[in-house]
Amino acid sequence: MNQFSYVRATTAKAAIDAISKDKNARFIAGGTNLLDLMKSGVLAPERLIDINRLPFKDIILQNNSLHIGAMALNSEVAAHELVKTHHPLLSQALLAGASQQLRNMATIGGNMMQRTRCSYFYDTSMPCNKRTPGSGCGAIGGINRMHAIFGASDQCIAVHPSDMCIALVALDATVLVTGPKGNRRIPFGDFHRLPGDTPDKDNNLAKNELITGIEIPASPFTKNVYYLKVRDRASYAFALVSVAAALDISNNTIRAARLAMGGVAHKPWRLQEAEKTLIGKAPTAENFRIAATVATQSARPYKHNAFKVPLAQNSIVTALQKAAAI
Ligand SMILES: Cc1cc2nc3c(=O)[nH]c(=O)nc-3n(C[C@H](O)[C@H](O)[C@H](O)COP(=O)(O)OP(=O)(O)OC[C@H]3O[C@@H](n4cnc5c(N)ncnc54)[C@H](O)[C@@H]3O)c2cc1C
Ligand code: SF4
């Protein structure tokens, strides 16, 4: 690991001032992704700004929305009564991520900002446009079993790895941000990016902006929800595909639906066309199969990941069945 200096910030202003002064500085929260990247030589920040003392840890109901501080730990959020009562889908998604030890260190802000788990990105002997713009992509002609089937570009086919973010895009969360120009709010679906010509950029946060929290509006999705994660082994693995499913059902009719997928695109992938097919319908396996077919119409698999298309369809049907309890 390269040498770096370390400073601890106790106010948001101090953290933002510190990062604005230094081109090669990074915030560090739980360190569970950043330190991995530093150890593998993907990143070599000269200065780390520790943000663990910042006062963004609260989990509260405010103006009918659930507000979760960016420094709250993944384990605390998953276990919190307000989260389990108002947004059980988020709790389920968090518990599907990583291991208990990691969830005890990982923060909400850090989880949103974690980088792709593409193995070529972590292998500094391989070309990677995300790590070194213009160097090429090892995955496109390589082993791309874990890679995207939606929204990829000819520069990068990596997927976004977070479980939590899949639930947050389904729940229409908002990201709360502060920076040198003040505060701003970013709809969750606009926070992460597709790779296009700039795969090195994972999201729309400026380098000197700090995530302070997320806000999740009240919703009817408190009962019929399910987060399904399909992975190569039972614990401690990133998703091959995952599905966040939420239904509002009354009198055997679906009044509202939310569907999003992980492990399939460079960003949390919301399935709005598929959601629309469910409205006004009965919660049956047949209607869920129609939604799954619509959801995968734009899929473009690569040499080693064509299996993800039927896997995604079957996972959508299963997640909806579990959510509807049929
Ligand atoms: C072995 C292993 C298995 C894992 N499995 C899963 C899994 O199955 N599912 C899953 O979702 N995740 C998984 N993870 C990833 C883990 O959830 C993330 O590493 C973690 O959430 C990152 O949070 P952190 O607080 O440790 O971030 P850090 O590592 O401290 O930071 C990550 C990045 O976020 C930036 N950052 C942190 N906080 C802020 C903020 N408030 N504002 C702006 N920038 C910020 C940092 O500068 C850094 O660039 C796994 C990780 C490991 C090591
Ligand atoms: S898929 Fe993206 S992250 Fe992976 S090697 Fe290609 S450019 Fe790099």
Q: What is the pLDDT of residues 251-296, one digit of tens each?
A: 999 999 999 999 999 999 999 999 999 999 999 999 999 999 999 9
CATH number at residue 30: 3.30.43.10
pLDDT digits over 25-38, tens only? 999 999 999 999 99
100 CA to middle of ligand 1, Å? 14
**Mean pLDDT along residues 181-192:** 98
User: Is there an atom of ligand 1 within 6 Å of 164 CB?
Assistant: yes
Asked if residues 68 and 77 have their Cβ atoms less than 8 Å apart, the reply is yes
Assigned domain for 175 exists: no
DSSP states of 226-271 = EEEEE-SSSSS---SEEEEEEEEEETTEEEEEEEEEESSSSS-EE-
Structural domain harbouring 29: 5-52
- Stated as kind and residue range, the H or E segment containing 175 is strand 174-179
Assigned domain for 196 exists: no
User: Is there an atom of ligand 1 within 6 Å of 92 CB?
Assistant: no
User: Is there an atom of ligand 2 within 6 Å of 116 CB?
Assistant: yes
Our count of domains for the chain comes to 2
Mutate which of 54, 92, 111 for ligand 1 pocket (most atoms within 8 A of beta carbon): 111
N-term to C-term CA, the chain: 52
Which band of pLDDT confidence, cut at 50, 70 and 90, is reported for residue 1?
A: low
Assigned domain for 11 exists: yes
Assigned domain for 125 exists: no
158 CA to middle of ligand 2, Å? 5
Assigned domain for 291 exists: yes
- Averaged confidence pLDDT in the chain: 97
Mutate which of 117, 137, 202 for ligand 2 pocket (most atoms within 8 A of beta carbon): 137
User: pTM (2 decimals)?
Assistant: 0.98
- Which residue, 52, 68, 83, sits at the end of a domain? 52
User: Is there an atom of ligand 2 within 6 Å of 157 CB?
Assistant: yes
pLDDT digits over 297-313, tens only? 999 999 999 999 999 99
CATH number at residue 231: 3.30.390.50
Asked if residues 212 and 56 have their Cβ atoms less than 8 Å apart, the reply is yes
